Each structure stands twice: as structure tokens, then as C-alpha cells.
Amino acid sequence: MTPHTDTIQQQQQRHLLVQLLQKQGITDQRLLRAIAVVPRHLFMPDALQHKAYENKAFPIGEEQTISQPYTVAYMTTLLEVMPGEKILEIGTGSAYQAALLAEMGADVYTIERQKKLFDRYKQFDYLQRYRRLHCFYGDGYKGLPAIAPFDKILITAAPPGIPEELGTQLKTGGWMVAPVGPAGMQRMLRLTKLANGELTEEVFDKFAFVPMLKGKQ
């Protein structure tokens, strides 16, 4: 993949991005610190790296995108990540979100359904520093029953409805953050698992995500 360089200029651009996110209402200090540390440009194709610190989503190949920093920050804020928590992410994509969670001290299990994207992670030397980051190739709708239960689940592609089956892989009192709904009309939901196994729902802002698709590719 890309050479692992991080210039002073790129570090400065990251700090400006952090300031912008703060202005937009992001206050989680460990999250802001992680955004200041993780070199987003390394998660993007070479030709787009000069734009890496713009607050935008960009294509990463295979018709997929690296999410907009604000969106990543918004979801991660709702997740309320604590160091040492076991977190399942659906949709590794560029692996930027997964790296942020690992940088925040979580044990991260992330699933990608596209083999071409998955094969990149092993070649991606920046990720090697995170012993607590584990990448899996598979269908996120199935989760990781052998590793469950999880403290938190983050879905970074949009399922058409609440993915109740993933709820079974949550600990009681744990929660799942997911953009739910049809193309271009998704609502960010936080679904908390109650002692009786039911999921309570909190509804947040609207977002546009790529769809969560069934099966592997």
C-alpha cells in the first residue's frame, strides 16, 4: 500500500480538522486525540491523499468510501468508547474507523464482506501497531458468534432495518450504533440491550451511507 510518511504539514492539517470537528460539536477528548494521531491520508488512495484532511467522504475503490470525518466522529461519540471494551465493527472499508477505535484503547473486531478490501489490511503496515485490532472477512449480518458477546457494535454501512440478529451478540447494557434505512434516508440509531433481551431505540440525525449488503464478495 502507501508509504508510511506523515509530514509536519499533514499533522498540522489534522489539528485543523480536529478544531473544525470541535466547532461542529464533537467534545469526546479521547476521540479528538485519536483523530489528531491517526494519519487519515494513509487510509486513502495515493491520488487523493492531499485531500485527506478535508471534512469529506472519498472513494477507496470497490465502489466504497472512507466516511466523512464528522460522520465517523458523530458515530464514535454515540458509541462512548471506553479503553478495554470489546467492539464489533461491521464494514471495515478503509479501516480508518477501526484504527480510531483501536487508538482509543478498544479491542476491535471488524468485518468486511469484500475480499479485495480485506486483502489490503494485511499489507497495510500502519495497522500492524494495533495488537488489539482484528480484521475478519465475512458477512457482517452474521456478526462473530464465536467472539461474542460485545460491549458495543458499530455498523458503518446502512442496513434497511434494525439488525436484530446482531443484538443477540451484545452484552446486556451494551449498545449498537447504526445508520438504519433505505438509500439516502438513513437515521442514526442507538439500540441498547435490556436485561430481557429487547433493544431500546434512541433516534439521532440523518445520514447517507452505502448499503449493508448480504453475503460475501
Nearer to ligand SAH, 95 or 199 (CB): 95
Nearer to ligand SAH, 21 or 90 (CB): 90
Smallest gap, in angstroms, from Cβ of residue 45 to ligand SAH? 12
What is the binding site for ligand SAH (CB under 6 A)? Answer: 64-67, 90-91, 93-94, 96-97, 111-114, 117, 139-141, 156-157, 210, 212-213
Rounded Cα–Cα distance for residues 104 and 98 (Å): 10
Smallest gap, in angstroms, from Cβ of residue 87 to ligand SAH? 12
Rounded Cα–Cα distance for residues 148 and 45 (Å): 33
Rounded Cα–Cα distance for residues 137 and 125 (Å): 18
Q: Is 94 a catalytic residue?
A: no
Instruction: Please pick, among 49, 64, 67, 92, the residue that the annotation labels catalytic.
Output: 67
Smallest gap, in angstroms, from Cβ of residue 115 to ligand SAH? 10
Q: In sequence order, what are the beta bridge partners of 111? A: 90, 136
Rounded Cα–Cα distance for residues 96 and 102 (Å): 10
Nearer to ligand SAH, 173 or 182 (CB): 182
Please list the active-site residues: 67
